[in-house]
Amino acid sequence: MGLARSIGKAIIDRLAPTGISANQIIRLVQGQGGGYQRSQMLDDIRTAAGKAKNQYWVERLNSNDVVPDGLMVNKNLNYPARYRVYGNFSYYDNSTDDYYTVTKSFYTDDLANVGSWSDDFQSTYGEVYSTQGIESMGFQVTAVERNSHY
């Protein structure tokens, strides 16, 4: 992903959930130096808006519930996996003595329940973060993209 698209996606991810029109978002992206191919920007806007629209319902699923197809966003992931799972990763940073929550994602081929995906993130990435002085406090699934090329 190029610099212009990285800038554009950062802006899109913040603005798409607010309900601003796609044309307004594109103008703002271009004004900030993040302009790239219009069709790709529209695809990124649709994806961000779809994830935001379904986030309320995904976050309210029980840990043993599987995310229904209707709450997944269909997208070409450009990665050889069936799903990309997004979530809020909460952690405690020993060096700053503070708590943080950031959005993280991972790819998987397994359609699992929300609790299993949270556990998978914890077991896979928790050890990596612990070597950096970061104590994992949990991962809450917020959105799922399904690879449209599978």
pLDDT of residue 64: 97
pLDDT of residue 1: 64
Q: Are residues 73 and 143 in the same domain?
A: yes
Strands 98-108 and 83-93 turn out to be antiparallel
Confidence of residue 67 (pLDDT cuts 50, 70, 90): very high
pLDDT of residue 18: 84
pLDDT of residue 9: 87
Q: Are residues 29 and 85 in the same domain?
A: no
User: What is the C-alpha to C-alpha distance for residues 12 and 7, in angstroms, rounded to an integer?
Assistant: 9
Evaluate if residue 107 carries a pLDDT over 90.
Answer: yes
Q: How many CB atoms lie within 10 A of CB 108?
A: 17
Q: Are residues 74 and 123 in the same domain?
A: yes
In a domain, 64, yes or no: no
In a domain, 30, yes or no: yes
Residue 69: which H helix or E strand, with range? none
Q: Are residues 73 and 142 in the same domain?
A: yes
Confidence of residue 48 (pLDDT cuts 50, 70, 90): confident
Q: Are residues 123 and 79 in the same domain?
A: yes
Domain that holds residue 75: 69-147
Q: Are residues 108 and 126 in the same domain?
A: yes
Give CA separation, 76 vs 70, 73, 89, 116, in Å.
17, 10, 24, 24
Q: Are residues 138 and 91 in the same domain?
A: yes
Q: Are residues 73 and 98 in the same domain?
A: yes
In a domain, 113, yes or no: yes
- State the average pLDDT over residues 7-33: 88
- Tally the domains of the chain: 2
- State the average pLDDT over residues 113-117: 97
Evaluate if residue 36 carries a pLDDT over 90.
Answer: no
